[in-house]
């Protein structure tokens, strides 16, 4: 585990929990911008926290790992947008299918990486 990523991830997670607790106790307060801006900020914040946790526990850096992480972060971002449900009347929720597609791409990249490592292990023996 890499502490330089883990400690900021824990601090950001604690700040998010504190923010949610404060927001639940003060429903009269709000942000001065539209809800979709708030949703984008929440999605970006969630992506940063998830990225820091992934980097804290990631053992080896490879191109395929980084590409998988990028697709997973995209999936997390669009999943947060979908859960917040910030859609004008009549607009279709396309965030959830997009999150699922990005997640499937990340899974296939991960499987390809595992297959690559298994082949290299067989040749080394």
Total number of residues shown for the chain: 125
DSSP classification of residue 33: S
Pairwise CA distance, residues 99 & 4, whole Å: 29
pLDDT exceeds cutoff 60 at 125 = no
Q: What is the pLDDT of residues 41-62, one digit of tens each?
A: 888 888 888 888 887 887 766 5
Map residue 1 onto helix, strand or coil: coil
Instruction: Please tell me whether the overall predicted TM-score, pTM, comes out greater than 0.85 for this model.
Output: no
pLDDT > 70 fraction of the chain, expressed in percent and rounded: 82
End-to-end CA distance of the chain: 29
Pairwise CA distance, residues 94 & 47, whole Å: 19
The answer to whether the beta carbons of residues 62 and 114 sit under 8 Å apart is: no
User: What are the extents of the domains in the chain?
Assistant: 3-124
């Amino acid at each position: 585990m890499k502490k330089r990523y883990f400690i900021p991830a824990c601090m950001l997670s604690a700040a998010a929990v504190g923010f949610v607790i404060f927001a639940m106790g003060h429903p009269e307060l709000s942000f001065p911008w539209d809800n979709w801006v708030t949703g984008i900020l929440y999605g970006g914040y969630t992506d940063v926290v998830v990225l820091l946790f992934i980097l804290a526990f990631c053992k080896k850096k490879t191109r395929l790992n980084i590409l998988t992480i990028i697709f997973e972060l995209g999936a997390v971002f669009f999943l947060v947008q979908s859960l917040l449900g910030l859609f004008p009347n009549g607009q279709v929720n396309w965030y959830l299918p997009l999150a699922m597609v990005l997640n499937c791409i990340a899974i296939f990249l991960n499987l390809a990486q595992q297959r690559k490592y298994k082949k290299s292990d067989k040749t080394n023996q």
